[in-house]
Structure formats: structure tokens, C-alpha cells
Amino acid sequence: MRRVLLLHGLANNGSIWSGLAGHWRDDLHVHAPDLPWHSGNIAGWRHETDSARLVGEAIDDVPGGPDLIVAHSFSSVLLLELLSRRAAAGDPLDVPGVVLVNPFYRAAADDFHWDMIAPTLQSFPDTLGEALRLRSLDRPIDPELREDMARRLCEWIGPYGWLRFFDTYLRTPLFPVALVHTPALVIGGGLDTSAPADDARTLAGLMPAAEALILPDSGHFPMLERPGPFAETVHAFLDRTLEPTGSTAAI
């Protein structure tokens, strides 16, 4: 039985992966915990300054250790930080492979500029609203109500919660990603207005054992938009990581 650990992003929870339930193979044991930055615990987490450590704790909680870690959005950056930290310390994370989904990444500090702060902040409610829309397709939420819900969630996250995210993003140029030899699939969305697909391309190009997969018709939540093909891609990467003769499927 292969073990897959799923790490959700900021202000989501483990149920963000629930649409994949009917698409996983029978030989997988899937762990999808609620992480400390889940939607019901923002107040208890938002002053945390080392969330990468908490990702390490989630990994340690998987009995026998995961064969694959799939991390989305904010959590993908935290996993990248942990991988880099452990590699630099000469103690690489013991996991056969990782999938980084819609990561936020910049290669150089000069890639961040003053004029990007306001648009990044202003787009945050839209990203949360898109998650709400995709998770309620069976029972659509009125757009005005959905917008209000996203805005209220932003208020709940507050300045500390958002700054935890943005500070992590700002530090990505400092991660020694070239030291990370863990096989990695870096997924970006061609329609993602939150984490540009170029972030995924750049990151994959700097990691020795990584490859990029850009989904031209996908936004920030491919696991919600196309759960079947997304699961197939994860299966194929896992097979290829553990059995080098396999092949990777594309969404």
C-alpha cells in the first residue's frame, strides 16, 4: 500500500481534496489532514513564524512515512522551504517524490517590486472566492453572497495571516533549491491569476530532479477543476518515481 500525503493551502482544509476520493487507485492510502492554517484555525496559527516546521510534523504523523507528498499553493512553498532547509543541513527529507501544485516562487529578490504588493493583496479575495465557487458547483452560491463570504474570510485571516503567506513568498529566493534532489513535479496553471505559471517553470528549472507541467486550461485549483485527470497525473508521477520504467500522464 502506497501512502500519499495531501497538504492544503491557506484558509482551506483537508476537504479541498475530497473531489479526488473516487479517483484514487485502490493501492493508495491517502492522508489529507487539516493543517494549522486551515480555515477553522487561522486565529490559532497566524502568529506562527516557522510553518515549514509544522509541515515536517505533518509528514512525521504519516505512519511509515509518505511515498509521495502533494502540496498546494501556500503549503507547496512551505514544503519547498523544508526540503531546502533539510538539504542544506545535509539531512535530506526522506520522501521518494513530491508534487508542488501552483507554487508561489521567485528566483531573485529583485523579482519582487513595490507595485506588486497591492495587486497581490487585492487578488486574495478572488482566489478564496474561486475556491468557494468550485466547491459549491452542485449547489451554486449567489455571486454576491460568495463575494461577501470571501471578504469575510479575508477579514478572519487578517493582516497577520496574510503577512505569513507573503513573507514566505518573499523568502523564496533565499531557498537553496538547487540542493534539493528529491524528484519533483511542479504543476502550474495557465489560467492561474494568483500563482503565475512562470513561477512553476522557473522553480522546476532550478531543481535538479524536477520537471514542470503547465496546465493551459487550469486555474489555481486543478484538483477541483479536473479531479480525474489530476489524480491520474499524480498516479503516473508516483509510479515513475518508484518504478523508473513508468510514464507520466498529462492533464
Contact 223, 230 (CB under 8 A): yes
From residue 27, alpha-carbon distances to 4, 64, 68, 133 in Å are 10, 15, 13, 31
Q: Sketch out the chain's domains with CATH numbers.
A: 2-242 (3.40.50.1820)
pTM of the model: 0.94
Element (H, E) at 84: helix 74-88
Element (H, E) at 70: strand 68-72
21-30 pLDDT, tens per residue? 999 999 999 9
pLDDT surpasses 50 at 248: no
193-244 pLDDT, tens per residue? 999 999 999 999 999 999 999 999 999 999 999 999 999 999 999 999 987 5
Q: Minimal CA–CA distance to 200: which of 97, 106, 66?
A: 106
